[in-house]
Amino acid sequence: MIVVDAVLDTWGTADFTAWPVAEPGEGHILALSGQMSMAEVGAAMAVVFRHGGIPTAPIGDLHHLLDRHLAEAEALTAPGGLRVRDTTTDAEILPGCCCGLENWREWRNVLHKEDIWLGHDPGTDLEHVAGAVRLRQESRRSGLHEVEIRLDDLPAHLTAVRLRLRGFLGLVRQWAGETAPLAADRLVTVLDENFGINDPLELDAKGG
């Protein structure tokens, strides 16, 4: 069975103290969904704020701090992307270094047999084969991993990713309501806009 998740790389959050965060999981990979704990949501927000160099104190001014950053940087980015797993073989393809969650929708281009950027270290070889896309990645821990996704199945996988991200966004609203209430609405809006969560996928139109 093929499973596709939106994930963040949580390296660098172990010493984060502005709010409670979950302990880093295996490989420092955090899957985003509506089933996360509040500490996991806090870890995801720590990644976004730390990666963007956004101040987190005083926490009561988080909405102002976020807006000041956006006025200067214009966009949010976060290390991560889509993780592809084959639960039958335990093969796993992870987003590599310099791959960002903000680009997850580029996977739509695979439907049109186009190449996409999946990062490096580890790098991923993407090969278009008959009716499918084959992904190969060399893991330092567990050797070569290979996963194949049928192109007919890819729209359903991307739709599932979007639904999980929408669930995550709902938890962000809850988390922010408890952590920084004045920033809750603004934070949800900014994450939605920068990580392309609620907009329709428009999988039938090339590049749409």
- The angle formed by the CA atoms of residues 86, 91 and 95, to the nearest 5 degrees, is 95
Task: Output the furthest CA–CA distance in the chain (Å, rounded).
Answer: 55
Tokens 């900014």 locate to: 190
Q: Which residues pair with 135 in a beta bridge?
A: 126, 147
**Alpha-carbon dihedral angle through residues 15, 19, 24, 30, given to the nearest 10 degrees:** -140
Q: Taking the model in full, what pTM does it have?
A: 0.93
Task: Output the CA–CA distances (angstroms, integers) from residue 35 to 31, 99, 125, 169, in the order listed.
Answer: 10, 24, 31, 11
Per DSSP, the residues of 24-37 read P-GGGEEE-STT--
Whole-angstrom distance, CA of residue 84 vs CA of residue 2: 7
Cα 33 off chain centre by: 10
For the chain, domain boundaries = 2-78+158-185, 85-156
Which residues in the chain land under pLDDT 50?
Answer: 205-208
* Sign of the Cα pseudo-torsion (51, 53, 57, 62, in order): negative
**What percentage of residues in the chain have a pLDDT greater than 70?**
98
The pLDDT of residue 204 = 66
